[in-house]
Structure 1
Amino acid sequence: MLVGVLLGVSGCGKPVAGTDGNLLDDWQPMAAPKFDVPSVGMCLDSPSKTSFDPAFVRAAPIECERAHTLEVVLVGTVEGSDGQEPGPPAAGSAGFQAAYTACSAAVNDYVGGDWHNGMLGIDVQLPLPGPWRGGLRSYVCSVFALTNVYSRMSFNSGSLKGALAGDAPKAIQCLDVRGTTKSDGWWGDLSELTPVGCTTPHEAEFVGTIQVSGSGTFPADDVLRKWTIDRCYPVVAKFMGLTQAQFDARVDIGLVWEGVSKFQWDAGDRYVRCFALFNPGKKARASIKGLGTKPLPV
């Protein structure tokens, strides 16, 4: 009864002055949602997030001179068919790999060299599902500093722009080793490879990067290990100015690596960092580049 009365009343009488009596044509279309995105060079005071939350970024900017974790290098866009999907690109998808590849190239330009050769990492944040449904297609690419080779990220003061150019303050060179030793006297599990000056006593040195091949699912540990050893050994030998046989004959120097994680694999990143590793307690005081068959400079 009440509904009928109200409907009846709504159709009676004259239009109010200044109106046409038609309520249906007066609604304005809702404006498209707007999202705040960070700008290149902005520093963020927060741990890494796997997805880009606009509210998080708005709350987190900090002056780069103060301690921070992330530094924005690129704000990209998920394009093409990937941008038409109902949700943001998942890890391992073509869309995610495209964003990671673009991020990696942008970071290289920003820091002035291949970031894999530095105490650096990259972070790709894609939109969260909610903002994605609202139309957000931006992703945020950032660079961060490492305290040691095996760590995720560290707080940094100042910008990382140009960190691998010129005197390359963030380049990996010589490293202090922390870990256990086995019964045979060689290293067991390593927990830290921390950068130090090459004139400071050290037990490891960065010799370069290699790339492992392969596609599909993340390989088993033994397969990845073989791929890495097969490719890292020649790099160490060449760095020292040795043939493979000469390097094999040395008992005081081996190798260790910082390998490909499942996240890197899913992102299409196949880079591995290779290091020359010295006998526990044998601390060199200079670089072993071109050392040849001479003894360690302890």
Structure 2
Amino acid sequence: MSAVAVLGAATLLLSACGNPPGTDGSLTNNWKAMPEAAIPTPVAGACYSVTTDDPASVTKWPAPVECTAAHSVETVFVGRFTGDEASQASAPSSGSAGRKTAYETCATEAKTYLGDDWRNGRLDLSVVLPIALHWQGGARWFRCDVMEYKDLNDYDVVQRTASLKGGLSGERAVGLGCLTVTVTSDNRVDKMIPIACTSAHNGEFAGVYDLPDGPYPSGEAARKARLDGCAPVIATYAGVPNDSELTFRVGWISSPFSEVEWGLGNRGVRCYAHKATNLTKSIKGAGPSGLPAD
């Protein structure tokens, strides 16, 4: 009886090692190989709800939300590093050719998405890169993110419930316009609050002046260069000559971007017209008669 039992067990084991019906004896049975793990690439047009005012500093992003839901950041374009930049051990650093190229791409794509240069709006543009771990895992994308500010003085981020697409075209819902400017006793700008041009105001955005390339300018000479650079912007906007009488027609405020922005390739200075007395309409195209020297 013992011998029979052993032989029976051997038979069962041998049967288990055979090929089941419909198989080829291979452990994979011709199944397709699983795809290699890859870092997900972000998508353009996605919106995110984050609490920071600096998207480039976020290391762990939440899942995207519909742009009709409350959010603070919107991705307007997703690009990809190629060539030498893609072969590096880490993502391109600030000031590098690769990062500047990414910023230029983002600025161009944002203009298409928004309808105008993002710097003409109450907006900020961030170039977001993969974190170090994701770069090492093969991620080579860069994201172009835009957020809206309540104003460009306190930089309070707006929680939006609609897309920014087209926000600088047509009615220019997020465009810079007329402002109420308050100045401190030592002649420094304190507040610049957006207001309708039909309401009493003493300031108005005129445009952006780009400084020449080079090291980030600082000090009194840089301040003068920024002010001087805004003079033709103000004159063109108001439709008056850029001559010795300009300062008797209107004053102006220059607002440069940060050194960090400069390192990305943004050398812009926002230029604002400023009057000592209140106006109730725009000075755009006012001409010498609408903006007399006094």
Q: Decide whether the 8 Å contact of 2:180 with 2:203 is kept in 1.
A: yes
Query: Is 1:111 the counterpart of 2:114 in the alignment?
Result: yes
Task: Compute the displacement of 1:249 (Å).
Answer: 2.8
Q: Counterparts of 2:272 and 2:244 in 1: how far apart (Å)?
A: 18
Alignment-derived partner of residue 192 in structure 1: 191
Q: Counterparts of 1:87 and 1:103 in 2: how far apart (Å)?
A: 20
Q: Counterparts of 2:227 and 2:143 in 1: how far apart (Å)?
A: 34
> TM-score under structure 2 normalisation?
0.80
Amino acid at match of 1:202: H
1:292 to 272, 288, 292: 288
Q: Decide whether the 8 Å contact of 1:202 with 1:283 is kept in 2.
A: yes
Q: Decide whether the 8 Å contact of 1:113 with 1:165 is kept in 2.
A: yes
Q: Decide whether the 8 Å contact of 2:39 with 2:138 is kept in 1.
A: no
Distance 1:30 1:83, change over 3 A: farther
Amino acid at match of 2:45: G
Q: How does 1:149-160 map to 2 (within 5 A)?
A: 149-150=152-153, 151=155, 153-160=157-164
What SS does the aligned partner of 1:292 have?
A: helix
Distance 1:294 1:140, change over 3 A: closer
1:232 to 210, 230, 233: 230
What SS does the aligned partner of 1:96 have?
A: helix
Q: Counterparts of 1:60 and 1:233 in 2: how far apart (Å)?
A: 45
Q: How does 1:137-148 map to 2 (within 5 A)?
A: 137-148=140-151
* Residue segments in structure 1 that go unaligned for 5+ positions in a row: 1-15, 19-28, 183-187
Q: How does 1:136-285 map to 2 (within 5 A)?
A: 136-150=139-153, 151=155, 153-182=157-186, 188-215=187-214, 217-243=215-241, 244-250=243-249, 253-279=250-276, 282-285=277-280
What SS does the aligned partner of 2:90 have?
A: coil
What SS does the aligned partner of 1:245 have?
A: coil
> TM-score under structure 1 normalisation?
0.79
Distance 1:51 1:126, change over 3 A: farther
Q: Counterparts of 1:114 and 1:49 in 2: how far apart (Å)?
A: 19
Task: Encode CA deviations 1:84-137: one digit per residue, 9 max, x unaligned.
Answer: 111111111111111111111111000111112122221111111111111111
Q: Counterparts of 2:182 and 2:161 in 1: how far apart (Å)?
A: 25
Amino acid at match of 1:162: G
Q: Decide whether the 8 Å contact of 2:116 with 2:169 is kept in 1.
A: yes
Q: Decide whether the 8 Å contact of 2:41 with 2:139 is kept in 1.
A: no
Task: Compute the displacement of 1:17 (Å).
Answer: 5.7
What SS does the aligned partner of 2:150 have?
A: coil
Task: Compute the displacement of 1:295 (Å).
Answer: 6.2
Aligned alpha-carbon RMSD (Å): 2.3
Distance 1:164 1:294, change over 3 A: closer
Q: Counterparts of 2:103 and 2:275 in 1: how far apart (Å)?
A: 34
1:66 to 64, 69, 75: 69
Larger Rg, first or second structure (1 or 2): 2
Among all aligned residue pairs of Structure 1 and Structure 2, give the percentage whose two residues are the same amino acid: 31
Task: Encode CA deviations 1:2-58: one digit per residue, 9 max, x unaligned.
Answer: xxxxxxxxxxxxxx968xxxxxxxxxx9964322233211111012332564xx33x
* Residue segments in structure 2 that go unaligned for 5+ positions in a row: 1-15, 19-32
Amino acid at match of 2:95: G
Amino acid at match of 1:49: P
What SS does the aligned partner of 2:222 have?
A: helix
